[in-house]
Copies of this chain bind each other. A is one copy, B any other.
Amino acid sequence: MVSKNQIKLVKSLHQKKYRNKYNLFVAEGIKVVRELVHSDFKVKAMYSSDLEIDLGTTDIIESVSQDELKKMSALTAPNRILGVFEIPQAQKPDFDGWVVVLDNIRDPGNLGTIIRLCDWFGIEHLVCSSNTVDCFNPKTLQATMGSISRVNIGYTDLQTFLKNAPVTVFGAFMEGDVVYGATVPKTGILVMGNEANGISEEVEALVTQKISIPQFGESTTESLNVATATAILLNEIRRS
């Protein structure tokens, strides 16, 4: 039996302040929960309304009613399973490979998609500005499809981080050099900026090389969405 207090605790974790307070986060859905269970993440509790569920693990899954699951869930249509995990200690990024840096990304879905892209393109370290949306936000986790277990994500002051970086700092700008001609080093940093305002002035001052994705349609077009722009630029880095 799950207690009222347990339900209350899980529900509170949909908010960042309680995630920080308890150092815990919630993941939902069999796909994401399974990936996390089989990773270095530490399981705190799991709740499921489906006794038949098989995660291939010996971790205990507490049985709950559909109604109880709904009370704990951040989704309008709750999935069959919900897991509570410890927030891991962020690892200090090395510069053995490419590092992606995010400057004030606000949309949880965009962050989740970018985490999934880092995983696909073998980017081990993702460094976010302190004002970037939390990677343990329920919507972000949903969009990662479990790939959050394979990317090290840290939050820090970008100016300090970039000042001390021993590699070239590339940044995506509307008016940067066309990326197709760029010489791509083996390691480097790729900075992506805020959805509405792009890279902030303070961070721009620390960008060594401005790059852009050429536009082929009419000039009235809105800029690319930050997640699709990241997809294109990571592909450019890897194809070279």
A residues neighboring B (CB under 8 Å): 31, 35, 109, 113, 116-123, 145-147, 150, 180, 213-218, 220-222, 224-225, 227-229, 231-232, 235-236, 238-239
**B239 adjacent to A180 (CB under 8 Å):** yes
Q: Chain A contact residues: over half helix, strand or loop, or mixed? A: helix
**B180 adjacent to A217 (CB under 8 Å):** no
**B231 adjacent to A120 (CB under 8 Å):** no
**A120 adjacent to B221 (CB under 8 Å):** yes
Partner of A228, one of B35, B113, B213, B214: B113
Q: Do A217 and B150 contact each other (CB < 8 Å), given the known contacts A116-B225, A232-B235, A239-B180?
A: yes
What are 19 A-B contacts with C-beta separation under 8 Å? A31-B222, A113-B225, A118-B217, A119-B218, A119-B221, A120-B217, A120-B224, A122-B216, A147-B222, A213-B235, A214-B238, A228-B228, A228-B231, A229-B231, A231-B231, A231-B232, A232-B232, A235-B235, A235-B236
CB distance from A225 to the nearest CB of B (A): 6
CB distance from A212 to the nearest CB of B (A): 12
Q: Which residue of chain B lies nearest to A143 when distances are taken between CB atoms in the complex?
A: B225
Specify which chain B residues have a CB less than 8 angstroms from the CB of A224 in the assembled complex: 116-117, 120, 231
Further 12 A-B residue pairs, CB within 8 A, beyond A116-B221, A121-B215: A31-B222, A109-B109, A116-B224, A116-B225, A116-B228, A122-B216, A122-B217, A150-B217, A150-B218, A180-B239, A231-B231, A231-B232
Specify which chain B residues have a CB less than 8 angstroms from the CB of A122 in the assembled complex: 216-218
Q: Do A221 and B150 contact each other (CB < 8 Å), given the known contacts A231-B232, A238-B214, A239-B180?
A: yes
Specify which chain B residues have a CB less than 8 angstroms from the CB of A218 in the assembled complex: 119, 122, 150
Q: Which residue of chain B lies nearest to A214 when distances are taken between CB atoms in the complex?
A: B238
